[in-house]
């Protein structure tokens, strides 16, 4: 706001009441952000000049005087023309009320005409721009504008041809003033709703029927709004316009309205009618940041990316995983084979240890589990842990291999319990197993008495069972305390 209908209503009011009048007095605000010409020079250039015409292109308006330079007004977010005693326009979110002081404290350009009539250009939010040009149509921003949506409508064929070459979202294209000038946020939402087109649909992917429907909607919405002087109270009740403000939960014609970000702007649309088609049909659309929650409060921080509108953190993790393998510290569950982050993972947790993932699965990691077992000839063989996932064994395999190297010569390897070499007469260690256990033994040990018999020196590594299917199992029994014998 304001858009083409609001600016056109201001132009018509100026033309009806001010053309042919001489400027007796002019006051320009000392606001260099809005007024881009020296204030004193601006005022001097206006006094004594006669207004010949009021002109508009897109959302820009300028006054043609009997001699240059000419004042130009770019309305921005809240710019407006007010004529004292005259109802100019009544558009949504108008910043100045008729009961406010005159001239308004937000006035940037004030003029008193020779017949006593006064008008003012105001801007409460300071996004407007007031300039002084010798020929406004030949310099930016007006010279860079596309055809005016009201005065220079495109033919249907030209419109279809232009859309077929645009590889961007349709709403972003409609907001581009170099493509069509005069269409702003509310008009774009309205025409897309009335033509049943999703705001994120790629322009070049629209069918001819979709392009024709959009072309017709633009002409109808703009013309109707202009005909009622942009008085929003007179807009048809079936329009989305009446239900889109404030991002509050609502319905239009019984259908739910949702909010997303499209073209960098908050966008209202009706998912039931406006669906992504073609190759975009499978894409999910997330809510716009700041969308109203169930309790009616505005939520902030739920950001979505314009591409897929996924949470920003997830997008960053996914992109980071595409070009490089995960770090050794990276949880192997976080990155899938195609490089995308798996659901439920936070982008800042990729370097957390495995312990966190194991806990989230409901089973803490066991330090005793060793997927590499020592065979009878002293070599190592790879086994598959029962109940484990493939990705659980990958990082453990590296650790286990290093331990396996230490077990090649069990006679010289230090005991993990005593810290001394195994093989001497030390305190016995009893491990409970079963008769079909394959145990790690010293290569030069002749006695292979059962574990149930006391008095034998044995390696203290965890005992693993190998079933007929080649699956290793670690005994879940608690270790018995070493028994002393006299």
Give the residue numbers annotated as catalytic, written as ranges: 2-3, 59
Return the C-alpha torsion angle 392, 394, 400, 402, nearest 10: -150
Could you tell me which of 8, 20, 23, 48 has the C-alpha nearest to residue 111? Answer: 23
Report the alpha-carbon distance of residue 92 to residue 232 in Å, rounded: 7
Q: How open is the CA angle 184-190-193, to the nearest 5 degrees?
A: 135
Q: From the DSSP assignment, how many helices (H) and strands (E) are in the chain?
A: 9, 16
- Yes or no: say if 293 and 276 are a contact pair by the CB < 8 Å rule: no
Phi, psi of 471 (to 5 degrees): -100, 130
Burial class (CB in 10 A: 0-12, 13-18, 19+), 454: exposed
Report the alpha-carbon distance of residue 404 to residue 381 in Å, rounded: 9
Q: Is 405 helix (H, G, I), strand (E, B) or coil?
A: helix
Tokens in use for 445?
Answer: 């040990």
Contacts of 436 (CB under 8 A, 6+ apart): 465, 466
Return the C-alpha torsion angle 90, 92, 98, 99, nearest 10: 150
């Amino acid at each position: 706001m304001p858009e083409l209908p609001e600016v056109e209503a201001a132009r018509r009011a100026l033309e009806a009441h001010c053309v042919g009048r001489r400027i007796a007095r002019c006051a320009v605000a000392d606001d260099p952000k809005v007024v881009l010409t020296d204030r004193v020079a601006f005022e001097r250039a206006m006094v004594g000049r006669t207004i010949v015409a009021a002109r508009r292109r897109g959302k820009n308006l300028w006054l043609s005087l009997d001699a240059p330079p000419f004042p130009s007004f770019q309305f921005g977010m809240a710019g407006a023309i007010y004529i004292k005693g005259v109802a100019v326009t009544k558009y949504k979110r108008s910043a100045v009320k008729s009961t406010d002081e005159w001239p308004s404290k937000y006035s940037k350009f004030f003029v008193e005409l020779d017949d006593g009539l006064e008008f003012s250009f105001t801007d409460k939010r300071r996004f407007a721009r007031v300039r002084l040009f010798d020929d406004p149509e030949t310099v930016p921003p007006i010279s860079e504008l596309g055809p005016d949506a009201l005065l220079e409508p495109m033919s249907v064929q030209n419109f279809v041809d232009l859309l077929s070459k645009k590889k961007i979202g349709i709403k972003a294209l409609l907001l581009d003033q170099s493509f069509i000038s005069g269409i702003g946020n509310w008009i774009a939402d309205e025409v897309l709703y009335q033509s049943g087109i999703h705001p994120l649909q790629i322009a070049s992917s629209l069918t001819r029927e979709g392009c024709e429907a959009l072309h017709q909607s633009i002409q109808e919405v703009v013309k109707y709004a202009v005909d009622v002087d942009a008085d929003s109270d007179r807009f048809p009740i079936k329009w989305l316009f009446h239900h889109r403000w404030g991002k509050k939960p609502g319905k239009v014609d019984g259908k739910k309205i949702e909010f997303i970000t499209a073209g960098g702007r908050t966008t209202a649309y009706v998912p039931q009618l406006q669906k992504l088609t073609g190759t975009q049909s499978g894409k999910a659309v997330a809510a716009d940041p700041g969308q109203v929650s169930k309790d009616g409060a505005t939520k902030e921080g739920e950001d979505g990316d314009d591409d897929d509108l996924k949470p920003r953190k997830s997008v960053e993790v996914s992109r980071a995983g595409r070009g490089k393998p995960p770090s050794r510290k990276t949880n192997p569950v976080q990155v899938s084979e195609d490089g995308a982050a798996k659901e439920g993972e936070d982008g800042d947790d990729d370097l957390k240890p495995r312990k966190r993932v194991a806990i989230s699965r409901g089973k803490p990691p066991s330090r005793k589990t060793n997927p590499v077992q020592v065979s009878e000839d002293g070599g190592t063989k790879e086994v598959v842990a029962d109940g484990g996932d493939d990705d659980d064994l990958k990082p453990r395999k590296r650790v286990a291999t290093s331990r396996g190297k230490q077990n090649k010569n069990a006679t010289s390897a230090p005991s993990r319990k005593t810290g001394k070499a195994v093989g001497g007469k030390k305190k016995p260690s009893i491990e409970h197993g079963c008769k079909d256990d394959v145990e790690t033994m010293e290569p030069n040990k002749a006695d292979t008495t059962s574990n149930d018999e006391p008095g034998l020196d044995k390696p203290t590594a965890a005992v693993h069972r190998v079933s007929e299917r080649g699956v290793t199992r670690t005994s879940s029994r608690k270790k018995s305390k070493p028994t002393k014998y006299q």
